Amino acid sequence: ENLTWRISPMECKKTACDPPAVLSNVIATSSKQAYLIGESVALSCPSGMQKEGEAEIMCRLGLTWYPTPESVRCIPVEAVPSQPSLFCKPWEKPAKGQCVCKMPYECMMSFQICGSVRPGRVNRMSICQLGALQCLGQTFTLLQDSACSWPET
């Protein structure tokens, strides 16, 4: 096989998310021009308003925000239906008045540990992702850090 470099036109590819387009009364804490994959933006509301939706959104691999910025909104405090406060675990989310398991991909990036869900398959997973797997009834094995490949710091 002839191993030579192929010359083709240069192409610029975007590698960061644009600032999130939040609804008019939602406040995004950071005001950068671009966000790298894995970076988060905290969302809040002005006084007298209450946030409905996630407190934080994250720039994901496809250069999209998760959850979507449009899913977070601010509503007047007096319009908030009075429900008993739900305090869910990090790997759970409120749904219809109770805490339900998140899917592992719904977890924000956090402290990572090394684990295996299937024999021969090793992954770095966040505590939230492991909690979500356990909540969903999946078994996993915690492994020594040396079993995983870690990014250079």
Q: How many CB atoms lie within 10 A of CB 46?
A: 9
Res. 133: pLDDT tops 80: yes
Q: What is the pLDDT of residues 3-30, one digit of tens each?
A: 788 888 888 888 899 999 999 899 998 7
Q: What is the pLDDT of residue 87?
A: 86
Q: What is the pLDDT of residues 74-97, one digit of tens each?
A: 998 875 455 567 788 889 998 888
Contact 130, 139 (CB under 8 A): no
- Mean pLDDT, the chain, as a whole number? 86
Distance CA 31, CA 91 (A): 28
Counted residue by residue, the chain has a size of: 153
pTM of the predicted model over 0.85: no
Give the three-state DSSP class for 131. Answer: helix
Which domains are seen in the chain, by residue range? Answer: 16-82 (2.10.70.10), 83-153 (3.30.60.30)
